Chains A and B, each alone.
Chain A
C-alpha cells in the first residue's frame, strides 16, 4: 500500500523530502584525520668513493675493449700492394743483359777453341805425314826385297 502511495506521491513533495535528507546528510561535515600522513622514502644508499670511481672506469674500459674488438680493421689491399712493392725491392735485381760482352766472350771462347783445334789438326797432319813416310819407306824396302828376291831367284836359276 505504501508503494502504491509512493507512485502517486507528488513529485515536488518527493523533491522536498530529498532536499531535507540531503540537508541532514550535509549536517555531518568532513572531519580532520586524527593524524597526518607523511611518507618517508628510503633514499638510495650512497656508494663508497671507490665504487663511485670504479663503476665509470669499468664502464669506460668495457667500451674501449668493445671498440677495439669490434672496429673493422684497415682494408687489406694497401698491405698487399705494399708487400708486392717490398718484394720487388728486396728481390735480387736482374742485371741488364750485356749482349756485347757475351758476344766477345763467345768469340774469345771460339777463337781459343779454333786455335786448339788447329793445333790438333796440325798434330794429326804431322802424324799422317809421318805414317805416309813410313809407308813409303816400307814400300821402298819391299821393292828392294822383291828385287833382291828376283835377283836371288835368277842367280839360283843360273846356278
Chain B
C-alpha cells in the first residue's frame, strides 16, 4: 500500500473505513500518529529501541480495540491513553533499571543544541513519572488540560498541579546545570 502521496485524512473517516473492513487504512492512522506517539513514549522511557517497540505495541493494541472506541473524534486522546498504559506497564516492570543515555551522534544538529537537548532529557528523566508525563503532553504534544486529565485519569486540578511542580523541579535541575 503506497502511503506517500496521500493527503492527511480525518481520523474519524479512517476509523470508519477500518471498521468497515478496510484494514489497510489503519496504516494511515499509524502514519499520522506514529511520530507524536513515538516521541511521547521516548520522553517517558528514555530509550529509543524500547520506545519504538512500545510504540508498535500501542498501535497494535489500538487496532485490536478500535471497535471499543466510542467517541471517534477523540481518537488521539484514546491513543495517548493506550500509550500511557503501555509506558506505565513498562516502567513498573523496569522499576530500578536505568536506561543508557541516547547517543548524541545519532541525533544530529549543532553541538550547543545537542548539549541542551541532553540536559533537558536528563532533567525530564529525573521528574516523577506523573509530572514528566504532564510536562511532555503539555509542552511537546500541546494537549489540553482536560485531555491530559483523561489520559492520566486524574482531575484537571491535579494535572495543573503536576505541571506546576514539574516546571519548578525542571527549573531547579536545569538551573543547576
Contact residues of A with B, CB < 8 Å? 17-18, 20-22, 24-28, 30-39, 41
Contacts and interface: CB of A to CB of B under 8 A. Distances in A.
A37 B56 contact: yes
Contact of B30 (A24, A27, A31, A39): A39
A38 B26 CA distance: 9
Contacts of B27: 38-39
A26 B107 contact: no
Given A24-B116, A39-B26, A30 B140 contact: yes
B170 interface: yes
A37 B59 contact: yes
Q: Which of A22, A24, A38 has the most CB of B within 10 A?
A: A24
28 contacts: A17-B171, A18-B171, A20-B171, A21-B170, A21-B171, A24-B116, A24-B170, A24-B174, A25-B120, A25-B140, A25-B170, A26-B139, A28-B120, A28-B121, A30-B35, A30-B39, A33-B35, A33-B55, A36-B34, A37-B30, A37-B34, A37-B56, A37-B59, A39-B26, A39-B30, A39-B59, A41-B23, A41-B24
Contact of A31 (B107, B119, B124, B167): B107
Nearest to A36: B34
A21 B173 CA distance: 10
A38 to B, nearest CB: 6
B26 A25 contact: no
Interface in B16-39: 23-24, 26-27, 30, 34-36, 38-39
A18 B175 CA distance: 12
Contact of A27 (B39, B56, B116, B124): B116
Contacts of B35: 30, 32-33
Contacts, number: 65
Contacts of A27: 113, 116-117, 120
B48 interface: yes
A12 B22 CA distance: 54
Interface string B134-177: 01000110000000000000000000000000010011001000
A35 B52 contact: yes
A37 B55 contact: yes
B111 to A, nearest CB: 13
B75 interface: no
Contacts of B107: 31
A20 B48 CA distance: 27
B94 to A, nearest CB: 20
Which 9 pairs show the lowest CB-CB distances between chains A and B? A41-B23, A28-B117, A33-B38, A30-B39, A28-B120, A27-B116, A21-B171, A25-B139, A37-B30
Contacts of A22: 139, 167
A76 B119 CA distance: 95
Contacts of B140: 25, 30
B5 to A, nearest CB: 15
Contact of B116 (A28, A33, A35, A37): A28
